[in-house]
Amino acid sequence: MRKLLAVLVTLLLCVSCSITKVSDPVLDKPNASGTPQEGGGEGGGEGGGGNGMTVHLGDTFNAEVQDEFNVPIYISNMPASTKGYQATVSVSEGLTVIGASAGPLLVNEGGPNMIFWHDTTSPGYSVLIGSLGPNYCSTSGSSTLFYIRVRCDAEGEQRVTLVDSPEGSVTPSPYVRDCQYAVLSVAYGNTNTTINVVNP
């Protein structure tokens, strides 16, 4: 089963195929709350990579038990002509991952056959994989790459964390390739988003 999964991941990252385009979600509850308290946003990415390309988290959130919202995963200092992307996420015990979706980079630059895949095969890990569609390559700059959607199940300080790929994975996280299928240098920047959860 793991070998089959590895083949599928490789195909998704290296070959563009036709998958229905997903919408670009926004935070559902403006103060939820889900509104960032502080943090780096798209231009952030402290740690790892210096001035190089980074995949990173940014903001601190305030929320209540049972709130659901999207935590953005950013990419910064991206050169032109990137195409395939991967990041892996884990969450603390007081959070539950209830979904994931493509961010504006994939939605706006990926064309009608953009690829997005949320792999939860390995318990405790969410592997997020995306690729721009055939004949599409990115512009340079910074953008939101993915959203991971969480539900707050317990009060206290909870965390969303960017981590390495699960053991046995073919492709490492973070991962970026260009339109010529060359693997590019990328590192995780800020790897943690804190969610301060209180009882309503």
Give the pLDDT score at 34: 52
Domain parsing of the chain, residue ranges:
2-198
Mean pLDDT of the chain: 82
CA distance 11 to 7: 6
Token representation of residue 165? 């790929």
Report whether 196 contacts 37 (CB < 8 A).
yes
2-198 under CATH 2.60.120.10, yes or no: no
Average pLDDT, stretch 179-193? 97
Amino acid at 176: V
Condensed to tens digits (0 to 9), the pLDDT of residues 116-170 reads: 999 999 999 999 999 999 999 999 999 999 999 999 999 999 999 999 999 999 9
Condensed to tens digits (0 to 9), the pLDDT of residues 23-38 reads: 333 333 333 345 455 4
Residue found by looking up tokens 């994989």 in the block: 129
CA distance 130 to 141: 17
Strands (E), 10-132: 36-39, 54-56, 59-64, 68-78, 82-91, 95-102, 115-119, 126-131
Report whether 84 contacts 11 (CB < 8 A).
no
Average pLDDT, stretch 41-52? 51
Sort strands 192-198 and 59-64 into parallel, antiparallel or unpaired: parallel
Is pTM beyond 0.85 here? Answer: no
Nearest alpha-carbon partner for 48 in 164, 199, 127, 126:
164
- The percentage of the chain sitting over the pLDDT mark of 90, rounded to a whole number, equals 72
Give the pLDDT score at 59: 81
Average pLDDT, stretch 51-55? 91
